[in-house]
Amino acid sequence: MTAAAIPAGVSVPVVKQRRAFVAVLRRDLLVTWSELPVFLAQVILQPLFLLFVFGKVLGSLGYTQHGYSDLLFPGLLALTAVITGMQTLAFPLVIEFGWTKEIEDRLLAPMSTGLVAAEKVLFATLRALTATTVMIPVGIIVLGSIPWRWSGVPLLVLSMILGSMLGAGLGLVLGTLVVPQRINIVFSLVFTPLLFTGCSQYPWPSLSSLRWFQIVTACNPMTYVSESMRAALVPSVPHITPWVCIVVLLCSLTVLMTIGVRGFYRRAID
């Protein structure tokens, strides 16, 4: 009962590492599939209620101006992408590293530790993209109609991908920094500010009359996801130029992934 000996000096073939990577991804997809209703409820509920209350109820009661829901919808797509990416990665990672140790079997698979982290990011991105895509029909149902421009779709898709990856990056950083005992505190300290300073409920340029808050929101990378979503769907609303958003998002991703992967290695290897 011994493995076929690999001659000395030959590193593990890329094929073998890729197979391990695919198997780990398949495991995550299978688990998501088997709890699909829970997954959908988890990711849709919050944006659904925000959309319903702010887009529908307040509008019907005349507390918001006509057209506010058009402005809100792209922001909620951004919010769904970022929050889902973050939740998908951070919560399980904290539990797996700190409590159940479930991740150990994957860390001991013949693949580099960095690839295990990369799979986490890819999976979280895929889940966030799915959730964001599902928000489009949900928006149509709740609001009756959504702002839509076919010419804006390429930028919309790019924003969805970058937003989902941003969420995954934030999740990786949080998931490797937080110990299970602090998970509740840290998440409420990070979640709420992230939720409300990400320009999902208001366009950034309109904050010029509230300068200090405009600066605060400029520091939240989610702002740039919201803004580029608006550029894609409702270009008539003042927004930050898309290329600026994309550059800022790419820079944020680089920083988050660097910190996150380093944190992952620190947690994976003593």
Partner 1 sequence: MTAVEVSELVKRYPKSTVNAVDGITFAVEPGEVFGLLGPNGAGKTTTVGMLTTRVKPTSGQAMVGGVDVGSEPVRARSMLAVVPQRSNLDRSLSIRRNLTFHAAYHGVAAGEASARADELLEQFGLRERGNVKPDLFSGGQAQRVMIARALMHQPQVLFLDEPTTGLDPAARLFVWDRLRELREHGVTLFLTTHDMHEAALLADRVGIMDHGKLLALDIPDALMRGLPGSSTLELSVHAGDNGHSPETLIDAFAALPGVERVEPLPSDSPEPDDPLWHVRLYVSGEASRLVAPTATLLADRGLSLSGVELGEPTLEDVFIHLTGRTLR
Residues 83-98 as b or e (16 or more Cβ within 10 Å = b): bbbbbbbbbbbbbbbb
Helix crossing, 113-143 with 68-95: angle to 10°? 150
Provide, rounded to whole angstroms, the least separation between the CB of residue 112 and partner 1: 5
- Residue 22: partners with Cβ closer than 8 Å, 6 or more residues away: none
Least CB distance to partner 1 at residue 187 (A): 21
Contact letters for partner 1, residues 211-240 (x by CB under 8 A): ------------------------------
Stretch that binds partner 1, among 20-28, 60-68, 79-87, 157-165 (CB under 8 A): 20-28
Query: 3-class SS at 50?
Result: helix
Encode 70-132 in three state secondary structure: HHHHHHHHHHHHHHHHHHHHHHHHHHHHHHHCCCHHHHCCCCCHHHHHHHHHHHHHHHHHHHH
Contact call for residue 63 and partner 1 (CB under 8 A): no
Of 11 and 151, nearer to partner 1 (C-beta) is 11
CA 212 to chain centre: 26
Using rule CB under 8 A, residue 151 touches partner 1? no
Looking at beta carbons only, is 41 or 53 nearer to partner 1?
Answer: 41
Residue 109 or residue 195: which is nearer to partner 1 going by CB? 109
Sites for partner 1 among residues 86-145 (CB under 8 A) = 100-102, 104-113
Interface ranges with partner 1 (CB under 8 A): 1-3, 5-6, 8, 10-12, 16-17, 19-20, 23-24, 26-27, 30-31, 34, 100-102, 104-113, 268-270
